[in-house]
Amino acid sequence: MVTVRAVRVFQFVFLTYSHHTCFMRKFLIPLLSLLLATACQVNQPAQPPLSPAVFTPDGFAIIFTVTHGKDCFLYKADIASGAMHRLTQAASGCESDPAFSPDGRQLAFMHAPRNGVRAALMLAKPDGTSSRMLVPGEEDNLQPVFVPHTNQILFLRSGAFEHYSPLVDNHRHKFDLFSADLAGGGITALTQQKFYDCSRISVSADGKQIIMSVSTYPEGDQFLILPIGEPGAPAQRLQPMVPNAPSGSPVVYNALWLPDGRSVIFAAATQPPEANFNYNVYRLDIASGSIEQLSHLTGLLDGLSVSTDGKKAVLLRQGVYSVLDLSTQQLTPVRLQKPT
């Protein structure tokens, strides 16, 4: 198993380790000494200064995490004006992974006593008030997602924070999908696969299917479509290949259902000749396999979320949020103001 994991890590290093840590071939050699010096020093997941954002139910604002030293809190920003303010009232700790219920009446998020430790799954009103704990932080839980038309909320659980090679820092691994009952908090394991990596889970608008963005060996990055309510049912596997994808296994992640239930948007890497990787947003028609490129950017793409109506996406790129109109492909930066 060690050999298999090491091979997978080296594949990520030479293509892209994951959607969070991307090492380009032309920069690999200068980075090796630094990576070797720091690989074993990281003991907890790090929280970036800004996290990927999600839309509010009305689509006029975004919610995201801002890090302040050892603390990190949820903020809300108006897209048009950039005005932002704290959404929650916690005096300390780390809040992350916000998600709204389909009806817009509940907000789920993770809360940890401090940055980098295990987090509890919290439920609150959409304005961040009246929070209560649904799933305690006894395990490494993250990424809650409501299931429409049910009393369920899904979340990921990481079984390990480690590295399989001296060339990389520790990262979360051994992911599985769990479900919690919104009323009583009872937990059910939906997968027992211990996926090497999982960048995103998304639930279809009808509440019948899940799509998971996972990495496995030797397949690499892929999307798994699973029926909800059918434990053990075989998954539909998708591995879209975008034009100019890196040679070998494609780098695809963050698949998100669109409201039609027939297509998803996702992020993927391309490799121009003699240049660094570029990351962009694509739309995939599941039945036909046709792919449409929706953005034309250079460099890294750290975050991607879609609005409830499926008309726009919010991107985090180089520390800046932008809203992408999925129809016109127009990209508009969100110019954040100082918090009030």
For residue 198, pLDDT beyond 50: yes
Specify the range with the lowest mean pLDDT, choosing from 47-51, 279-283, 284-288. Answer: 47-51
Element (H, E) at 38: helix 25-38
Element (H, E) at 7: helix 2-14
pLDDT interval class at 276 (50, 70, 90): confident
Whole-number mean pLDDT of the chain? Answer: 86
- Please tell me the pTM assigned to this model: 0.85
264: in domain: yes
Structure tokens at 109: 């998020």
What number is the average pLDDT over the span 126-130? 94
CA–CA dist 208, 148 (Å, integer): 8
CATH number for the domain including 302?
Answer: 2.120.10.30
CA–CA dist 162, 221 (Å, integer): 19
Contact present, 111 and 135 (Cβ < 8 Å) = no
202: in domain: yes
Output phi, psi for 8, to 5 deg: -65, -40
Contact present, 79 and 206 (Cβ < 8 Å) = no
SS (H, E, C) 235-269: CEEECCCCCCCCCCCCCEEEEEECCCCCEEEEEEE
* Residue range 201-240, pLDDT digits in tens: 999 999 999 999 999 989 999 999 999 988 778 899 999 9
What number is the average pLDDT over the span 122-144? 96
3-class state of residue 317 by DSSP: strand
For residue 260, pLDDT beyond 70: yes
235: in domain: yes
338: in domain: no
340: in domain: no
44: in domain: no
221: in domain: yes
Q: For tokens 């053990």, what's the residue?
A: 232
Higher pLDDT, 252 or 70: 252
For residue 18, pLDDT beyond 90: no
Query: How many domains does the chain fold into?
Result: 1
Q: What is the pLDDT of residue 307?
A: 98
How long is the chain? 340
- CA distances to 71, 107, 339 from 127, rounded to whole Å, are 20, 8, 16
45: in domain: no
CA–CA dist 317, 11 (Å, integer): 24
Neighbours of 168 (CB within 10 A): 21
In terms of residue numbers, what domain contains 141? 2-39+50-333
What number is the average pLDDT over the span 250-264? 97
CA–CA dist 245, 113 (Å, integer): 41
For residue 243, pLDDT beyond 80: yes
What number is the average pLDDT over the span 330-339? 95
What number is the average pLDDT over the span 236-262? 95
User: Highest mean pLDDT range out of 37-41, 81-85, 247-251?
Assistant: 81-85
3-class state of residue 171 by DSSP: strand
